[in-house]
């Protein structure tokens, strides 16, 4: 009886524990991806994410077809779709790599129990995180709320397993053409790509989704950029960070592959240590989400519920989204984001600080815009990053830390190259005055924060 391998945020064939288990089992394989826009609690993907998903799925389908398996595409409520596929093919086993969001876990747990009751072998594997969230605990058994001791505990735990090799040949039900196998949707019918207007030109210029391109970028980063990473990572005018975030988001690379490739290339160097600790922030964000599934909607620190977000002035939010605030580094960042679907970490922090502290707009509004426009938008890192900047999150920047966009620009874009690239009209009459006074709004934000402190 065939093995069903359910692909989710792990769009790769290398280091894929669920696929590996199916190969070991030795029966024909049915590979499936489900576009689930129906299950309760599943957050609908943003526009940029849908674009990435389309291309990454096309690439995965090619990689599987070359090995003899067709990727079956289905849409609908995931639990129902998988159960019906299992019946159709008479599957004997179902394998997947774990997900860590609240709604996703509920779906997976219920499905696992139901299929096991029906006599199937069902296994889930660790594929997307280096350390399973329930294994990293403080001395008193609680989850960590501060990054440094969290990462220390991770480094003291067993080293993440070595990556599994990509299978070279697979035995698929119905063969690579799928004739005689289960029916599949046509990817083009899913409408994941924009039509009119086609806003994805900048994404196409910037990115090549897929596992092969992800490995190329990893090798290139280690070879060319890792040496400058520790000292240069904050510079927005230079490109020394890895740009692997969408690869990890969609699982074109596993963190295990990144971990071991980095160690093999440069163990013991400052660059490797710093880079892997950034990958550690990704782990931390996911562990926080695991223990606090409402991360995207609720303040992690409940006392922030008392924060008096003033009435939203819609034109201010629009000016921020479009990169027309009159604050050059914020505008440069927001235009880069719209164009290319990605944003340097430092500029994410500055833009988020400006929205929440100078415009006094609720972090959830900014988080939603990033969710829609980032190709790496993920369920954990995005709300985690926003709450970190807003001051309401785990191990957050203290509220009174309001980024000064002008000082940040002098420090991290010293020759003005980054701003010139994205805001060519800066310095001419065409560029607007700042929509708010930075100093006055900073003082107002600090006064508003007093309300939070008073509510403690
Ligand atoms: P590198 O510096 O090369 O880091 C390597 C990898 O480590 C990254 O690819 C990423 O997977 C991980 N990483 C690095 N920094 C962080 C961090 N602070 N938090 C979590 N993971 C990190 N990252 C996302 O992957 N998805 C998001 O939706 C996201 N939203 C963010 C929102 C805000 C407001 C902020 C301040 C940060 C956000 N980040 C998010 C974190 C970070 O900005 C990006 O991971 C990073 O800029 C990606 O660039 P890179 O791959 O070149 O990073």
In tens, the pLDDT along 383-416 reads: 999 999 999 998 887 888 899 999 999 999 999 9
- In the chain, which residues fall in CATH 3.40.50.620? 1-127
What mean pLDDT is predicted for residues 426-453? 92
Name the region of 398 (left: φ>0; alpha: ψ -120 to 50; beta: rest).
beta
Q: Which residue owns the Cα nearest ligand 1 atom 52? A: 243
Helices 363-373, 47-67: crossing angle, 10 deg rounding: 40
In which band, very low, low, confident or very high, does the pLDDT at 6 lie, cut at 50, 70 and 90? very high
Q: How many residues does the chain have?
A: 456
Q: Ligand 1 center to residue 275 CA distance, Å?
A: 11
For residue 93, report the phi and psi dihedrals to the nearest 5 degrees: -150, 150
Query: What's the ipTM?
Result: 0.99
| Tens digits of residue pLDDT in 194-232 | 988 999 999 999 999 999 999 999 999 999 999 999 999
CB 107 within 8 A of CB 214: no
Residue nearest atom 45 of ligand 1, based on CA coordinates:
245
Whether the CB of 244 sits within 6 Å of ligand 1:
yes
Rounded CA gap, 384 and 376, in Å?
13
Q: Are 371 and 382 within 8 A, CB to CB?
A: yes
What does the pLDDT average to over 140-159?
A: 97
Cα 171 to chain centroid, rounded: 32
pLDDT score for 397: 78
Nearest CA to ligand 1 atom 2: 241
What is the DSSP secondary structure assignment for residue 221, as one 8-state letter?
I
Highest CATH level, class, for 129-160+211-291: mainly alpha
pLDDT in the model for residue 451: 80
Q: In the chain, where does the domain assigned CATH 1.10.579.10 lie?
A: 302-455
Q: What would the mean pLDDT of 67-82 be, rounded to a whole number?
A: 98
Confidence band, pLDDT 50/70/90 cuts, at residue 311: confident
In short, whether 379's Cβ falls inside 6 Å of ligand 1 is: no
CB atoms within 10 A of CB 142: 9
Question: 302-455 has which CATH code?
Answer: 1.10.579.10
The mean pLDDT of the chain is 96
Answer whether residue 310 shows pLDDT above 90.
no
User: Which ligand 1 atom is at minimum distance from the Cα of 377?
Assistant: 28
Checking if the pLDDT of 264 tops 90, the result is: yes
pLDDT at 94: 98
Within the chain, all domains assigned CATH 1.25.40.80 are found at 129-160+211-291
d(CA 136, CA 145): 11
DSSP assignment of 170-219 equals --BTTTTT-TTS-----GGGG--S--SS---HHHHHH---SHHHHHHHHH
Nearest residue (CA) to ligand 1, atom 4: 278
pLDDT value for 455: 73
- The conformational region for residue 323 under phi > 0 = left, psi -120 to 50 = alpha, else beta, is left
Q: Is residue 448 classed exposed, middle or buried when 0-12, 13-18 and 19+ CB atoms within 10 A define those classes?
A: middle
Residue nearest to atom 17 of ligand 1 (CA): 281
The CATH code for residues 1-127 is: 3.40.50.620
Rounded to whole angstroms, the Cα distance separating 342 from 376 reads 7
Q: How far is the CA of 98 from the centre of ligand 1 (A)?
A: 21
The packing angle between helices 255-266 and 211-220, to 10°, is: 30
């Amino acid at each position: 009886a065939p093995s069903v391998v359910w692909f989710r945020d792990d769009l790769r064939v290398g280091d894929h524990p669920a696929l590996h288990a199916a190969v070991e089992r030795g029966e024909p394989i049915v590979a499936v991806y489900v576009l689930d826009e129906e299950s309760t609690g599943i957050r609908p993907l943003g526009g940029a994410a849908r674009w990435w998903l389309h291309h990454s799925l096309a690439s995965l389908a090619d990689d599987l077809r070359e090995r003899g398996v067709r990727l079956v595409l289905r849409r609908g409520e995931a639990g129902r779709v998988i159960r019906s596929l299992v019946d159709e093919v008479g599957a004997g086993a179902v394998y997947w790599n774990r997900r860590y969001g609240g709604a996703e876990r509920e779906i997976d747990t219920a499905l696992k129990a139901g299929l096991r009751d029906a006599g199937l072998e069902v296994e889930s594997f660790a594929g997307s995180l280096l350390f399973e969230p329930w294994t990293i605990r403080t001395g008193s058994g609680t989850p960590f709320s501060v990054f440094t001791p969290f990462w220390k505990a991770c480094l003291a735990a067993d080293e993440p397993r070595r990556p599994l090799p990509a299978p070279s040949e697979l035995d698929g039900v119905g063969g690579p053409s799928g004739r005689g196998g289960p029916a599949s949707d046509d990817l083009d019918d899913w409408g994941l790509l924009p039509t009119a207007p086609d806003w994805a030109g900048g994404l196409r210029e910037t990115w090549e989704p897929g596992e092969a391109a992800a490995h190329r970028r990893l090798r290139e980063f280690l070879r060319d950029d890792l040496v400058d990473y520790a000292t240069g990572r904050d510079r927005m005018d230079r490109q020394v960070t890895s740009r692997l975030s969408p690869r990890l988001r969609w699982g074109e690379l596993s963190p295990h592959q990144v971990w071991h490739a980095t160690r093999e290339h440069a163990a013991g160097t400052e660059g490797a240590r710093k880079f892997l600790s950034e990958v550690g922030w990704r782990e931390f964000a996911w562990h926080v989400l695991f223990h606090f599934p409402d991360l995207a909607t609720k303040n992690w620190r409940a006392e922030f519920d008392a924060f008096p977000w003033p009435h939203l002035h819609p034109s201010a939010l629009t000016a921020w989204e479009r990169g027309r605030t009159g604050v050059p580094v914020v505008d440069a960042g927001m235009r880069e984001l719209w164009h290319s679907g990605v944003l340097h970490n430092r500029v994410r922090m500055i833009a988020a600080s400006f929205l929440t502290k100078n415009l006094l707009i609720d972090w959830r509004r900014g988080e939603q815009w990033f969710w829609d426009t980032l190709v790496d938008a993920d369920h954990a890192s995005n709300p985690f990053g926003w709450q970190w900047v807003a001051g309401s999150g785990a191990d957050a920047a203290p509220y009174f830390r309001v980024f000064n966009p002008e000082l940040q620009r002098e420090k991290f874009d010293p020759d003005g190259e980054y701003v010139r690239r994205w805001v060519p009209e800066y310095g001419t009459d065409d560029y607007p005055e700042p929509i708010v006074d930075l100093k006055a709004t900073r003082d107002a934000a600090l006064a508003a924060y007093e309300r939070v402190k008073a509510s403690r």
